Structure 1
Amino acid sequence: MITRLAISGYRSLRDIRVTLGPLNVVTGANGSGKSSLYRALRLLADIAQGRIIQSLATEGGLQSTLWAGPEAFSRAMKAGTQPVQGLVRKNPISLKLGFAGDDYGYAIDLGLPQDSIFPNDPVIKVESLWTGERLGRANAFAVRNGPYVRIRNDNGEWRDAYQHLAPFDSMMTHCSDPREALELLLLRERMRDWRFYDHLRTDRDSPSRRPQVGTYTPVLASEGSDLAAAVQTIRGMGAGGDLDAAIADAFPGGRVVVTHTDGYFEVEMRQHGLLRPLKAAELSDGTLRYLLLVAALLSPRPPALMILNEPETSLHPDLLPPLARLIAQASKRSQIIVVSHAQTLVAALDAQGDSSQIVLEKELGETVVRDGEPPNWTWPSR
């Protein structure tokens, strides 16, 4: 489980550090930085997929994603007695992302290229992988500085793993080795298992509304295209009771079934008082979205980390308490981060008793966390 998340220099997140638990709710007013925190988590996941540079390019390049304010605020700026202005820069321009748990921690530092024909592409300056929650002098076991990567062996001795690693390649993807760098490999695979749901399609042309080829589907696709197969897999893996309970909690007397025709699966919903079941094409956007969230949260293959971005979209307020109970149940199998500005859902999650609330606010254009002490954190140096 991730216990600490640190982001520096990304959009409105000039320097933010948060403590995470099993169930985390990120909330705040519009424009407070919720989407930036969500995107930063996606960028971290993209490192393990080998596409961090491409992902930043789609956002306009490093220059477009960097913190646009001064490197630091003076007391006079914060007090309003001096206009906000740039001061003499003490550190190089960089975008830093990092996280840590009880077992491993990882951080990356991206900067501007020098003499490159691709000036908008960032380059990886530093990476570090360590044991424990905080980087120290003695607990790092994989370090990357520029093109050089060093890895510590079981005897505590350092060896050169790479001497010419390209500035756009991460040691996470190019130095993972089951014999020489098992920790890198394990962490990479764990990050690749992170699951994001922020674009579950419920429009009229959504694939989830049409029959789809049925196949074993323990993980719902990010857009929900394989809903029927995912629901059938949940039943086939012995969790049909949990599925029925989640549906009945939101729709008393309701039940979801999957029909088969020539190998094609289709979701149907039976509701109390209706003479026939409703096919997925007939369901409201809110009902279909709730079914998609049920399929995601009851996955027979729970991930280490699941992130839900504004899951309340299209949902009637009456569906938010059942959704909160479903999320709380899922957080016993996976660490969950919910990004939401729906106070009804936030309150319902808070009522579950085990959620950690992270309230974001804006001060002088910078995202800050309301209340609480930020966790201790040390960035690897260039």
Structure 2
Amino acid sequence: MEKRLIEVEVENFRSLRKITLPLRPLNVLVGPNGAGKTNVLDVFRFLADVIGTDLQPALDLRGGFDEVVFRGGDKPPVYMQIKLTATWTTHSSLSALDEYQLRVSRPRQGSLSRREKFAFKRTQGRGRRITISGQKVNVVDTGRGGGEREIGISALSSGLSTLPRLSDEQGGSEVSTVAQRLASFRVFDVRVDEARQASRFPRAKTEVLDDGAANLAGFLLALRSQDENAWQRLVEDAMEVLPQLDGIDFEYPSGAAREVVIVLHERGLRRPTQLADASYGTIRLLGLLALLYDPNPPALTCVEEIDHGLHPQALELLVERLREASERTQFLIATHSPALADRLQPDELIVCERRDEGSSMIPALSAERIERIVGTSEGLPLGELWFSGALGGDL
């Protein structure tokens, strides 16, 4: 059974008043500014922050509870909630899904509280439910021979950050699996000024790609050492999109084993060009190719405005590589580009709209509805249908 995220439900998180979003291997969010695409990506960044720092710091990073909850309507909401269903743990399946739910509440004139729920499939018909409320963790084993026990926890500590330390009998193994998956989620955006610089020499055969590609040179050097075939395909892809490019190599300005820089061999030039002197689009392209050829990707990779700075001729290749890489990691992509959407299949497109009261409608159209519209469109591509309004949320 493929291990992946099946669905996310969100209530009262920024503009996400109430959405249910099924997720496939490749998911591309399209919509105007303010439709909520970035907020969907921030749901996963928030959960990763909860694991890394705990609940209160993750909220504080975003300005506190009042800045995170939905701002529309006559009265401010008293809670926000995130629920995930997945097939991550060993015995999960589409008929026995893993579930995680986080609800953060603050009644008017009241103090902040959280409630969490975990549900997992165990073995031979057995399951486990873990509920966290206040300072109590309640662990219930379902099925034959099931039992119930209670564990203490700090008032605002998240189970995602605390329970993985428990023993397997207390539920730590399954919670740890979920926490590891969520902690690995990557919201990726090439920070060009950092990616163009030298990076430290990789200290191991594998290098974890930074969320902003700040270690791009070190990562690509490690990739060349680890998987020569993947490296050659990456270089060929770059040469296909950049006609002037003849090859990619590395230099070591501070001596071997200290730091490394990327150099580009370009047609007609006497000397190689260091990446520091390359164009914005070239650096973004190399950062995205590094992401797509990552041999050890996270469970989910989010990318905002993936086409930013890229020539339209790169989009065909980009979508092909996204589909290939989605066999190893799920993708959640945000874009404004009709040209990129033109290259998608109907079940890869998620149309986002914004209602008058400020809430996001995601998806604005079901996958089945998009299929029907495409079927009667006389061959028009998805991007053109979306940009013309044929895939608008009011249809």
TM range (shorter): 0.7 to 0.9
What does the per-residue CA deviation read over 1:87-128, in whole Å, with 9 as the maximum and x for residues that have no partner?
Answer: xx9xx7111011111331111000117888xx6xx431x101
Deviation, 1:367, is 0.7
Q: Distance in 1 between matches of 2:137 and 2:106?
A: 20
Match of 1:42 in 2: 45
Match of 1:174 in 2: 162
When the two structures are superposed, what TM-score results if normalisation uses the length of structure 2? 0.79
SS at match of 2:132: strand
Deviation, 1:271, is 2.5
- Which structure has more helix as a fraction of its residues? 2
Match of 1:73 in 2: none
The question of 1:28 aligning with 2:16 is answered no
CA contact (8 A) 1:193 1:304 kept: yes
Higher relative contact order (CA 8 A, sep 6+): 1
Match of 2:119 in 1: 130
The 1:320–1:127 alpha-carbon spacing in structure 2 relative to 1, beyond 3 Å, is same
The 1:17–1:140 alpha-carbon spacing in structure 2 relative to 1, beyond 3 Å, is farther
SS at match of 2:214: coil
Alignment of 1:81-160 (within 5 A): 85=74, 93-102=78-87, 103=92, 104-112=98-106, 122-124=112-114, 126-131=115-120, 141-153=129-141, 155-160=145-150
Match of 2:19 among 11, 16, 20: 16
CA contact (8 A) 1:256 1:269 kept: yes
SS at match of 1:231: helix
Percent identity over the alignment is 25
Match of 1:276 in 2: 271
The 1:346–1:52 alpha-carbon spacing in structure 2 relative to 1, beyond 3 Å, is farther
Q: Distance in 2 between matches of 1:228 and 1:109?
A: 41
Match of 1:192 in 2: 183
Query: Which stretch shows the higher mean deviation, 20-29 or 174-183?
Result: 174-183
Deviation, 1:326, is 2.1
Structure 1 unaligned blocks of 5 or more: 71-84, 133-137, 375-382
The question of 1:233 aligning with 2:204 is answered no
CA contact (8 A) 2:12 2:69 kept: yes
When the two structures are superposed, what TM-score results if normalisation uses the length of structure 1? 0.81
Deviation, 1:28, is 0.6
Alignment of 1:224-303 (within 5 A): 224-238=213-227, 239-252=230-243, 253-261=245-253, 262=255, 263=257, 264-303=259-298
The question of 1:212 aligning with 2:199 is answered yes
Q: Distance in 2 between matches of 1:28 and 1:49?
A: 31
CA contact (8 A) 1:111 1:123 kept: yes
Structure 2 unaligned blocks of 5 or more: 93-97, 369-395
* Runs of 4+ off more than 4 Å: 113-116
The question of 1:342 aligning with 2:337 is answered yes
What does the per-residue CA deviation read over 1:289-331, in whole Å, with 9 as the maximum and x for residues that have no partner?
Answer: 1111111221121211111111222222222222222222211
Match of 2:371 in 1: none
Query: Which stretch shows the higher mean deviation, 297-306 or 52-61?
Result: 52-61
